[in-house]
Structure 1
Amino acid sequence: MELRHLKYFVSVAESLNFTRAAARNFVAQSALSGQIAGLERELGVPLFHRNSRSVSLTEAGRVLLPLAQRILADVDIARMEVEALAGLRRGTLRLGLIQTPATSVDVIDVMGEFHRRHPGIEFAISDAPSGRMVAAVAAGTLDVAVVGMEASELPQGVESLPLAVEPLVAVVAADSPLAGRGLVGIPELVDGVQFIHFARESGLRRRVEAAFARAGIPPVGSFEMGQIHDMIRLAARGVAVTIVPHTDALEAERTGDTPFSVVPLADHDAVHPVSLVYMPARLSSAAAAFVEEFRIRPLPTPS
């Protein structure tokens, strides 16, 4: 089994299309298909179901995929480590960032300081829900990620450095009967109005759904959006109500064009933890240096 066989297999498995996988690897489709067939003969099992309309993974293919991704990721790390043997002079840091870190630790400032110290290290940034980025760190396709999750939610082998615990707040229109309230419970917040959820698989979505569960009501069937800024703008216009981290609400108040009201939640357990996650077992020099940039900063106390 050769590395290029695994590379071709992963390309097909991720795209489920031999033509696109061949183009991605700059080889003829016939050559790529031949390499996949050779890998299947070597393993003694088919890796793909093929017909004229679709390609899908067999059970063996599903087992092999995360292992192959991990092997290729480790090879990339080994290559970068050898290249950086004389110091952190060049390489790539694969960094995952939630849409809004919602923390008094300024992630952008940390990235700037890291770049000042190690100008030869390039950033490759991914933006996805927290659950997906944690899985990517575990699989080795991301080096580190800033996510809205805490240690108890992480898979084995993935560790975290807590950055902040941000309170969640309700956002309502300025003329809402709830505007200016000292506290609001979720049943009252959603009574007779639509609710805007954040994207599925995100840490924020988990926190809000947990708050609904503690309130004894199911998550209301309204609608979801993928941009917190747009959620707040719609709530400001009275279209619906929403729940977001306090930092995001404050930033929207500072920059927004429509006034709205930020109302604290009666549920004091409704918080949004933010952590830096990484795999110590496969931490590259660049990733280790990036984690250290966070360690040397004082941990903020909960707001």
Structure 2
Amino acid sequence: MFERSKISKQTIAVRRGFTLIELLVVIAIIAILAAILFPVFSAAREKARQATCLSNLRNVALAQAQYAQDYDELLNRIRGRWVPQGVKWAFGAQDMLAPYIRNDAIWKCPSDFIPRDDCDDTYGFPISYSFTNFQSSWDDGPSGTATFGLHAYSTNTADWEARSKSLPEIEAPGDTIAIFELWTTASYSEGFAYWRWDVRNIADPRWPDAPNYFVFTWCSGKPNQAQMTIGAHSLQTNFTFVDGHAKAMPRRQTMPWPWDAASIQARAAAGQSNRNLLHWKVRGNYAPSYK
């Protein structure tokens, strides 16, 4: 008998590379995914920075509450009378609240990108937060300036005794903003927590929100090199209120615009809201002086 021969067949694998078109398709898909995901990751990182910033503000608000308890319920000033303290040239809110704050790093919002400059080699630590300004003689802005905030600003013998508002004077502490984000070259510990004289700047739609900013001259030898903006996180600014709570909101929601006597009275006549979260004597829907 003859046995049928067994012939084994060996399969030879042929390895083929990607074609140029296939590579281009893969690259295009990766680019599309990156374009979709990178903004998501960036927004997530900014949200985390905003949360840290809000936590910092809560700590500053807590320090302010402790200060008020120790000083007959008066809020701290933005700046006190000048007292030479080595390299410091001002006595600011950060100095007044220092006994109640253990970590100076909380004064800096991690999203604050504005460079600081004291016009010399040092500036101390940056300050990202500011306090609403109060001056009784300019209160509601009859001369074009509104200082209806909470915190006094004094720099010379004429206003050494300028006082901030006291807690009993504030009729709606849960609706009255005390501290907000202001990022500027001029705000640092060797000076003071810089401020806005006209409180309306905080809500002014003509003012920039971060990351936009305007320039001004701070150091005489560096014209138009200083920067300032209202701190913002995707158009959400962090605020603290007199009762201690903190929240993020669009700054234009803090008060109706424009804020002048004619516009306020026109809104009141039309039954529209004049609710102003930046005004120390606001109660309910209208500022009492313009009911």
TM-score of the pair, normalised by structure 2: 0.23
More helix by share: 1
TM-score of the pair, normalised by structure 1: 0.23
Bigger Cα Rg = 2
